Amino acid sequence: MIDTHTHLYVKEFEQDRDEVVNRALNAGVDKMLLPNIDASSVENMLALEKKYPEHFFPMIGLHPTSVGDDFDEQMEVVTKQIFQRKYYGVGEIGIDLYWDKTFEGEQRAVFRTQLILAKEFRLPVSIHTRESFDIVIQIVNEELTDDLKGVFHCFTGAKEDAYRIMDTGFKMGVGGIVTFKNSGLAETLKDIPLEHLVLETDAPWLTPVPYRGKRNESSYLIYIAEHLAAAKGITVKEVEEITTENAEKLFRLDRDDD
Ligand code: NI
């Protein structure tokens, strides 16, 4: 299985990171995409990749909640990195109007800039939306070309939102929220073809049942796969196979063609 969105490089794992990685590998999660947050997280993210190069695949990007007064310098780091070495995606990027609307204009501009950068480098994007879905999908549609692909990470929307995403050719990242009964997400995803879905944990956040409320980790991807399979009335194996294939293709995880 592939965890298409996990932050195992953050400080929440500094005590037991190797054990967390081993539990993921033992659970059959052998490839993990690492979305960046901002300039301060790049070093730790790349250190994790360096330690386990077959298992971790870094992305570069500026997270919307890190967009502030210094966004110019922050974007310089993103640009410098993307020219300097191989990345597997541009992320995580997007718009978040839940925590703070102060920098809404900057968030929009930085999001668009990063979509354009992704197209130039032919990299998929990992998109974060919070109280911003309409704006985000509008900007994606304005920038949409054959070279723009990606994931709406942590999809929690309604069926209409799923259809709007499918129209763009983007995938939906299914995470821990699908295991929450009151979320209605399992019901929404019931009729969405697996071809449009990838799995993710967003560790250390958004922990699935039965560990809801605790720290999340990539080995818990199995609970997400199980809930998605149950919702769709198919086998876990089928969920694993198709979502793995979707992620491999989208993020081009075959390192041989670097
Ligand atoms: Ni994230």
Q: φ and ψ at 128, to 5 degrees?
A: -105, 125
Task: Give the contacts of 144 (CB within 8 A, at least 6 positions apart).
Answer: 168, 169
Residue 258 has pLDDT above 80, yes or no: no
Region 114-140: mean pLDDT is 98
pLDDT digit string, tens, across residues 220-257: 999 999 999 999 999 999 999 999 999 999 999 975 55
Residue 52 has pLDDT above 70, yes or no: yes
Whether residue 152 contacts residue 173, with contact meaning beta carbons closer than 8 Å, is answered with yes
pLDDT value at residue 254: 74
Region 111-136: mean pLDDT is 98
H helix intervals, 37-122: 42-51, 71-84, 104-120
Share of the chain above pLDDT 70, in %: 98
- How far is ligand 1, taken at its centre, from the CA of residue 187, in Å? 24
Neighbours of 221 (CB within 10 A): 30
- How far is ligand 1, taken at its centre, from the CA of residue 5, in Å? 6
pLDDT value at residue 212: 96
- How far is ligand 1, taken at its centre, from the CA of residue 138, in Å? 21
Kindly report the CA angle at 185 between 180 and 191, in degrees rounded to 5? 140
Whether residue 224 contacts residue 176, with contact meaning beta carbons closer than 8 Å, is answered with yes
- What CATH number does the domain located at 2-251 have? 3.20.20.140
pLDDT value at residue 256: 54
Residue 214 has pLDDT above 60, yes or no: yes
pLDDT digit string, tens, across residues 157-213: 999 999 999 999 999 999 999 999 999 999 999 999 999 999 999 999 999 999 999
Task: Give the contacts of 36 (CB within 8 A, at least 6 positions apart).
Answer: 42, 45, 58, 59, 60, 61, 62, 63, 78, 91, 92
DSSP state of 142: H
Region 119-138: mean pLDDT is 98
pTM comes to 0.97
Dist CA 202 CA 209 (whole Å):
14
- How far is ligand 1, taken at its centre, from the CA of residue 91, in Å? 9
Where exactly are the structural domains of the chain? 2-251
- How far is ligand 1, taken at its centre, from the CA of residue 192, in Å? 23
pLDDT value at residue 99: 84
Phi and psi based region of residue 152 (left: phi greater than 0; alpha: psi -120 to 50; beta: remaining): beta
Length of the chain: 258
Across the chain, what does the average pLDDT equal?
Answer: 97
Region 91-104: mean pLDDT is 95
